[in-house]
Chains A and B, each alone.
Chain A
């Protein structure tokens, strides 16, 4: 069902009027108006907890408004379930992916509207697969429709989620942070798809925290703050500063902070780190670098470049890795995460929900989880000691929670992330490893996090953080390492980094980022002799050293 071509703008396809949503005694949305213009990208922004997701759930039929109503094509509608909304042509891609890891890509895409054989009893798998392949090709992703979703990387799963929405004929498509797990190249593809959809008359509602991105792709912007609609404006009339001011009343230059520091002694040394890929090839190929005390080092690269695996190796999660690791001149010997933590390393993982939080525990219990032994008095945990530590960090990091006993799930994404960071800090690490620490958190929380990183570095902590956002990498880090296909392909000091050089290094020796399938072919000789490769030569040791190492008994990484 496609909307008829409408040239004369602005034409409103869906209008939310005076929407109020009350949960218990709490007002999540307060008399909010929202216009969705036909064939446009309608951006909705606001900090975490401003009410964006609630509004989207109401539009998509997952929640019903306490007061107010929706007008679709001028007619009042009420969706009692997501199914009804879908029937009216409204699709949604949630921020937390709604995929079934145990089903194949094609099965996920066609869930609930399976392609059937002629008599309508059996699923026509072949047709589903052909169709799925066509959709994925449109998204320029060579993902196998028969692959299990659980085996895909997060970025690829996001693509599947988008394909799933496209598989239904939608006239309004809600995208809740669709790019949070995508690399730059994948974002470009997504934007191309969005423009294509617009041309077909599909109206997009787009939620994201990445402001530059919004300005590039958006047509209209609506700002929510504290459950109220603050402003609406065409994108052509505004800039980043306007958005930030509307959102938080603070200017953008305060977000990406960087203090000048003089890095101290070498803290972490990684020598010839290699990690075999199950099934052949290498996930990490002879990686060597150091991090100094008081230094913020960014690890930039595309999805599947091996960044997460590198951090995991440092935490002792891959006993099959080879090479040697040193911290402050001492060989790292810990055989599991606990021992590595004792040696002064700690990891804040990428996927907060899956790897960071324990949803059944409180804020305080989540925070002290990695440092329980510090709060013992006799054989028991001392509540006073725990609470003292928790209160200190809640204050230090500006964690907003009703109380330390609140369940972690009740906090906003930004505050949850701060709790996971606090858990790491309570282990009193020497080196802090952050894997995409700003994923899915709002600009206020981001600014807090960057300020914290600067402060910690000034206190002598070494920080190694993985990021896919160029702006973040270039403005926060003292030094940037670029990883491509498991190899270190670039190293830049802050002053000498440029977007072009970083992107070139990140895609050295490969085509567009595709993650697992392509990388599975193992190390590819980086043929080009561009400046980036010379960088790589400088940081990587000679091939003979690599050979030599293979004949030695393999040390534990």
Chain B
């Protein structure tokens, strides 16, 4: 019954409190399920492969994870509004190519007959701007032209990949170390450098994670994101500018994708047009594994990061114990579906607990 104050129970108090405790523990375990799964995976892999738990190996795993985590953070905001961003993989590719182009080719200005080589910081800023603009286009098409997010970002998936290929006619920009005489060195630091022994990508993941968690859970904007995902009409009638918030989540996603593109190009010290292909699916999988509902309104940033870790640990761990790449895909697919099944179960339980 809905009104607990009107409840008369015949069960002995002790039994009831035990039942309550058990339910609470179950609920907590469910909410932390991605984390629990992560720990189980780590334990299994460290038993099966003695190399797994070495600091060196964990750092490598974390570096792999950080790329997916950055994308998943941006994707989380989009999915919380009940949207989806399929274009992030292509935006990764395009920004990597833009950065590669600017560093290795410079920006030719034919009317002055010169080629401008920018400082690495400016290159990074321009690349991030490209991600923001593509996110903005996604957002505008979705909010102003009422195109479904799936379709709008699917279009962008193709268009941005095409642009990435156009920057070099499909070729790779190698050697992004820069030229000291042009004053554009230092780009590799973003992906390969480290501060206090911790690689830069991990720092970026921590920084983005903290900021995004704060924005999502503590600011009015974050609350509005959750409200729109929960009930868009109610959010609108509460005075929330639904279109503006939606526009912003796609910009955030584009920005995170651009950051990811830069990190990858920097790690490889080369920019390939195929960079980031199918990364959008990894990001979505991480978000879903982390307990965010594809229907919007439920989920956390931390969950998505943990989800990214589960995927990362799973694939690296499977490689380490010698499982073939083909089986890896099968296992990854099964894990994702399993996660959603557990999510459904949790919702059913919570509802029952809430109505009880």
A51-B1, A369-B240, A381-B220 as given contacts; A360 in contact with B226, CB under 8 Å: yes
Quick one: closest B residue to A51, CB to CB?
A: B1
Bound complex: CA A415 to CA B134 (Å)? 44
Q: Within the complex, what minimum Cβ distance (angstroms) separates A534 from chain B?
A: 37
Q: Within the complex, what minimum Cβ distance (angstroms) separates A365 from chain B?
A: 7
List which A336-394 residues lie within 8 A (CB) of chain B. Answer: 336-342, 347, 349, 354-361, 365, 369-370, 372-373, 376, 379-381
Q: Indicate if the CB atoms of B8 and A227 lie closer than 8 Å.
A: yes
Bound complex: CA A118 to CA B350 (Å)? 47
Bound complex: CA A338 to CA B236 (Å)? 8
A25-B16, A337-B238, A360-B298 as given contacts; A30 in contact with B220, CB under 8 Å: no
| SS of B interface (majority) | helix
List which B46-94 residues lie within 8 A (CB) of chain A. Answer: none
Quick one: closest A residue to B222, CB to CB?
A: A381
Q: Within the complex, what minimum Cβ distance (angstroms) separates B293 from chain A?
A: 8
A24-B19, A372-B220 as given contacts; A30 in contact with B352, CB under 8 Å: no
Question: Which of these, A25, A51, A315, A406, contacts B9 with CB under 8 Å?
Answer: A25
Q: Within the complex, what minimum Cβ distance (angstroms) separates A474 from chain B?
A: 28
Bound complex: CA A511 to CA B9 (Å)? 53
Q: Within the complex, what minimum Cβ distance (angstroms) separates A472 from chain B?
A: 23
Contacts of A373 in B (CB 8 A): 220
List which A22-40 residues lie within 8 A (CB) of chain B. Answer: 23-30
Contacts of B352 in A (CB 8 A): 23-24
Contacts of B8 in A (CB 8 A): 27, 30, 226-228
Whether B341 sits at the interface, judged by CB under 8 Å, is no
Q: Within the complex, what minimum Cβ distance (angstroms) separates A1 from chain B?
A: 33
Bound complex: CA A365 to CA B298 (Å)? 13
Whether B3 sits at the interface, judged by CB under 8 Å, is yes
Quick one: closest B residue to A416, CB to CB?
A: B2
A23-B356, A24-B353, A407-B354 as given contacts; A358 in contact with B231, CB under 8 Å: yes
Q: Indicate if the CB atoms of A26 and B7 lie closer than 8 Å.
A: yes
Q: Indicate if the CB atoms of B1 and A23 lie closer than 8 Å.
A: yes
Whether B355 sits at the interface, judged by CB under 8 Å, is yes
Q: Within the complex, what minimum Cβ distance (angstroms) separates A339 from chain B?
A: 8
Bound complex: CA A355 to CA B1 (Å)? 24
Quick one: closest B residue to A358, CB to CB?
A: B230
Question: Which of these, B2, B19, B229, contacts A410 with CB under 8 Å?
Answer: B2
Contacts of A456 in B (CB 8 A): none
Q: Within the complex, what minimum Cβ distance (angstroms) separates B15 from chain A?
A: 8
List which B197-242 residues lie within 8 A (CB) of chain A. Answer: 214, 218-220, 223-224, 226-227, 229-231, 233-241
Q: Within the complex, what minimum Cβ distance (angstroms) separates B141 from chain A?
A: 21
Whether B20 sits at the interface, judged by CB under 8 Å, is yes
Whether B23 sits at the interface, judged by CB under 8 Å, is yes
Contacts of A452 in B (CB 8 A): none
Question: Which of these, A226, A339, A365, A380, contacts B218 with CB under 8 Å?
Answer: A380
Contacts of B5 in A (CB 8 A): 400
Bound complex: CA A381 to CA B214 (Å)? 10
Whether A44 sits at the interface, judged by CB under 8 Å, is no
Q: Indicate if the CB atoms of B227 and A48 lie closer than 8 Å.
A: no
Q: Indicate if the CB atoms of A338 and B9 lie closer than 8 Å.
A: no
Quick one: closest A residue to B6, CB to CB?
A: A226
Quick one: closest B residue to A315, CB to CB?
A: B237
Q: Within the complex, what minimum Cβ distance (angstroms) separates A31 from chain B?
A: 10
List which B1-52 residues lie within 8 A (CB) of chain A. Answer: 1-11, 16, 19-20, 23
Q: Indicate if the CB atoms of B237 and A337 lie closer than 8 Å.
A: yes
Contacts of A148 in B (CB 8 A): none
Whether A411 sits at the interface, judged by CB under 8 Å, is yes
Bound complex: CA A342 to CA B19 (Å)? 47
Q: Indicate if the CB atoms of B235 and A358 lie closer than 8 Å.
A: yes
Interface size on A, residues (CB 8 A): 54
Bound complex: CA A50 to CA B7 (Å)? 9
Whether B312 sits at the interface, judged by CB under 8 Å, is no
Contacts of A369 in B (CB 8 A): 223, 227, 234-235, 238, 240
Whether B297 sits at the interface, judged by CB under 8 Å, is yes
Q: Indicate if the CB atoms of A227 and B234 lie closer than 8 Å.
A: no
Bound complex: CA A453 to CA B223 (Å)? 29
List which A301-355 residues lie within 8 A (CB) of chain B. Answer: 315, 336-342, 347, 349, 354-355
Contacts of B235 in A (CB 8 A): 358, 369
A358-B235, A365-B223 as given contacts; A409 in contact with B6, CB under 8 Å: no
Quick one: closest A residue to B3, CB to CB?
A: A49
Bound complex: CA A258 to CA B8 (Å)? 35
Quick one: closest B residue to A410, CB to CB?
A: B354
Q: Indicate if the CB atoms of B354 and A49 lie closer than 8 Å.
A: no
Q: Indicate if the CB atoms of A23 and B355 lie closer than 8 Å.
A: yes
Q: Indicate if the CB atoms of B239 and A26 lie closer than 8 Å.
A: no
Q: Within the complex, what minimum Cβ distance (angstroms) separates B355 from chain A?
A: 6
Bound complex: CA A355 to CA B233 (Å)? 5
Contacts of A412 in B (CB 8 A): 2-3
Bound complex: CA A295 to CA B221 (Å)? 36
Bound complex: CA A29 to CA B2 (Å)? 12
Bound complex: CA A247 to CA B23 (Å)? 33
List which A1-42 residues lie within 8 A (CB) of chain B. Answer: 23-30
A24-B23, A24-B356 as given contacts; A372 in contact with B224, CB under 8 Å: yes
Whether A402 sits at the interface, judged by CB under 8 Å, is yes
Q: Within the complex, what minimum Cβ distance (angstroms) separates B132 from chain A?
A: 20
Contacts of A338 in B (CB 8 A): 239-241
Contacts of B4 in A (CB 8 A): 26, 402
Q: Indicate if the CB atoms of A26 and B9 lie closer than 8 Å.
A: yes
Question: Which of these, B3, B10, B227, B239, contacts A400 with CB under 8 Å?
Answer: B3
Q: Indicate if the CB atoms of B230 and A359 lie closer than 8 Å.
A: yes
Contacts of A28 in B (CB 8 A): 1
Whether A54 sits at the interface, judged by CB under 8 Å, is yes
List which A223-237 residues lie within 8 A (CB) of chain B. Answer: 226-228
Whether A423 sits at the interface, judged by CB under 8 Å, is yes
Q: Within the complex, what minimum Cβ distance (angstroms) separates B244 from chain A?
A: 10
Quick one: closest B residue to A356, CB to CB?
A: B234
Bound complex: CA A342 to CA B238 (Å)? 11
Q: Within the complex, what minimum Cβ distance (angstroms) separates A275 from chain B?
A: 17
Q: Indicate if the CB atoms of B7 and A27 lie closer than 8 Å.
A: yes
- Interchain Cβ contacts under 8 Å between A and B, 28 examples: A23-B352, A24-B19, A25-B356, A26-B1, A27-B7, A30-B10, A49-B3, A50-B6, A51-B1, A226-B7, A227-B1, A340-B239, A342-B239, A355-B237, A356-B237, A358-B235, A360-B293, A365-B226, A373-B220, A379-B219, A381-B219, A400-B3, A409-B354, A410-B2, A410-B354, A410-B355, A412-B3, A423-B238
Which are the 3 A-B pairs with shortest beta-carbon distances? Answer: A24-B356, A49-B3, A360-B297
Given contacts A226-B6, A365-B223, A376-B220, 12 further A-B contacts (CB under 8 A): A25-B16, A26-B7, A49-B1, A337-B240, A357-B234, A358-B235, A360-B226, A369-B234, A372-B220, A372-B223, A379-B218, A412-B2
